Every structure is written in C-alpha cells, then in structure tokens.
Amino acid sequence: MLLSVVKTAALFAAAAAANAGRRFAATLAGYLVAGGLLAASLCFLTLAGYRALSQALGDVYASLIVGSLYLVAGLATLLILQIKRR
C-alpha cells in the first residue's frame, strides 16, 4: 500500500515537473521574440534620431549626442541594479 502511494506521488511530481518545463520553454520563447522585436525597434529609432540630429546639427554632434544618450542610459541601468541589490 505504501509503495503504491510513493509511486503515485513520484509520477505526479514528474508530471508537474514536465508541465513546468513546458511552461518555462513557452515563456522563454515569448520573451525572446519580444526582446528581438524591441531590439529591432530600438535600432530603427536610433537611426531615425541620428539622421534627424545629423541634418540639424551635423554628423559629429549627432554621433556625440546619440552615444552620450546610450552611455547615460547604461549608467542609469547600472545604478538601478545596484540600488535594487542593497
């Protein structure tokens, strides 16, 4: 009797783990697709902003502005991550 209960519990745990693995894979695939689309949109927006700044201010200033924008965004992200760790 006890052996059948243990077998049933083990089968239930294996089925639950398999379902969790499938859900994780589906969620991961969804996040990867969303991340790819966000990266593509960021590239197009960066190019559009650079071209607008380039026409208005020149190539050198446009490059400095866009590069500085990404530098500030990266530093702000690192700052937020450091604050969250504390």
Cα angle for residues 58, 61, 65 (degrees, 5° grid): 130
pLDDT digits (tens, 9 = 90+) for 38-63: 999 999 999 999 999 999 999 999 99
Q: What pLDDT shows up at residue 35?
A: 92
- Once rounded to an integer, what is the mean pLDDT over residues 59-78? 95
**Alpha helices, DSSP H, located in the chain:** 2-57, 59-85
User: Based on the structure, what is the number of domains in the chain?
Assistant: 1
pLDDT digits (tens, 9 = 90+) for 4-24: 777 777 777 777 777 888 888
- Global pTM value: 0.67
Q: What pLDDT shows up at residue 6?
A: 77
Range of the domain at 45: 2-85
Q: At what angle do helices 59-85 and 2-57 cross, to 10 degrees?
A: 150
